[in-house]
Every structure is written in C-alpha cells, then in structure tokens.
Amino acid sequence: MKKLLEQVLEIAHEASSAIMSVYAREFSVEEKEDKSPLTEADKAAHEVIMRGLQGLAVQLPILSEEDIEGFSGVDSDGRYWLVDPLDGTKEFIKRNGEFTVNIALIEQGKPVLGVVTAPALETAYVAAEGVGAFKVEADGQRHEIRVAGKPEAAAWRVVGSRSHPSPDLAAWLETLGEHEMLPMGSSLKLCLIAEGKADAYPRLGPTCLWDTGAAHAVVLQAGGRVETLEGQPLSYANPSEKLNPYFVVWGHGADV
C-alpha cells in the first residue's frame, strides 16, 4: 500500500502542476448542468489523473466528477478510484488558494487510501491503511499527523465552508455549546481535523462522494471519524448514489 500511495501522490502532484499553469493566467469559467462552475483547470487535472491511474499496474474502475458516465461500477472486490480533480472550484476562481486535488481508493465502501494536494499552498495530505497519515510540506518533509482529541475545557474549534453556508448549522452549533468558527474551503476542512487544528466539521448541506473520499481516508488514519447524523460511518459502497447524506467529521475516536 505504501508504494501505491507514493504513485498516487505523484499523479496528484502532476495534476496540481496542470492546475497551477491555468491559475497563473486568465481562464474561462463554464457552468455545468447543476449550475456549478467548471474551468480549464478542472478538465486538465482530470485528464492527468485518468492517464496516471490507468497507467498503474492494478487496473480499477475510476469514478471522477468530470466523467461520471465513464464509470463502469465497482470491481469484484468492491474497489474503485474516487476522484475530484479540482475540489473548491469557487475558491480557485476567487484565487484564495483553498482548493485541492483529491484521489481516494475505495474498498468495500471504505476509503482505504487518500491523497489530497493543495496546489497553491504547496502542501499535501496522504494516508493509507497500514501506513498512517502524513502532511507533506513544500520541501518534501513529512510529518505524521493526528487528530487533537475531544476538547475538555476549551471551546470547540469548528471548521465550516467559505462558499456553502447552511441554515441548519446554527441549530447544530447551539447544541454543541461554546465554540469558535474556522472558515475554510474545499476538502481542506477535513484535513484541518486530521492534523489537529480543528475539532469538528458539520456538513449540513449537499456534498458528493468525490468531495470527501480522499480526505476521509486521511481523517480515519489520523484517528478521527466521519459519520452521518445517525452516527454511522460515511459509506461509499453505492457510487450510483452520488450525494452524501449530512455528516460530521470528529477529531476524536468513538471511545474518547
């Protein structure tokens, strides 16, 4: 799994380079059927990732946000690649740096490997079962990361979306108690939990499987949880159902 993780990280870095070449100049913005934005960078990253994953020794089906129709379904072992070539397109358009490349390996509904790169921030988060979770700095240095654990006396550090406010959030926060809000875009919200810089991320709004898969893997290997509001682990076992239910990312284990 460690070798595969390195190969996927290299693919994500190549996609990041393709994104940054667009980021450095003027670019056009299209609107998809669901009214979400699409840029040249989304398309370029998708092509790089598809080519890279198809070049690996083990061939698995690929579900990418930019090619949903091309997905052939999970393999006989319940495995597939789950890809968001550019998560946080709105942040990309705003040029605030809070956008990511996301590649996850799903096995029997669970993300067992994940790579998240933040091209403009020159950082990455990588994780795999049996390997652990790490933050990769711009100079290539790696630091093992771990969730913070449940806060005892201090206020909860709650991370929230910059571009997708939710009317249900206020009621959830009132139930949680004393807290401070940390705004962040894209899958970086989950990564903040994984590296211990935030304690909870409630997502009470629509997301798709590819928005969360890679960072979910990082959270799991860092000791955290990603659960539905009913307390069940967020599952990717049915990729034909593209939308996630509402969920909460917790920076502590179930037994804390």
| pLDDT tens over the chain, length 256 residues | 999 999 999 999 999 999 999 988 888 888 787 777 888 899 999 999 999 999 999 899 999 999 999 999 999 999 999 999 999 888 888 888 989 999 999 999 999 999 999 999 999 999 999 999 999 999 999 999 999 998 887 899 999 876 666 678 888 988 898 999 998 989 999 999 999 999 999 999 889 999 999 999 999 999 999 999 999 999 999 999 999 999 999 999 765 4
Q: What is the pLDDT of residues 174-213, one digit of tens each?
A: 889 899 999 898 999 999 999 999 999 999 988 999 999 9
Determine the pLDDT at residue 93. Answer: 87
pLDDT at 132: 98
If 0-12 CB within 10 Å is exposed, 13-18 middle and 19+ buried, where does residue 235 land? middle
Question: What per-residue confidence (pLDDT) applies to 23?
Answer: 87
Predicted confidence at residue 164, as pLDDT, reads: 60
Model pTM greater than 0.85? yes
CA distance 143 to 169: 33
Per-residue pLDDT at 162? 64
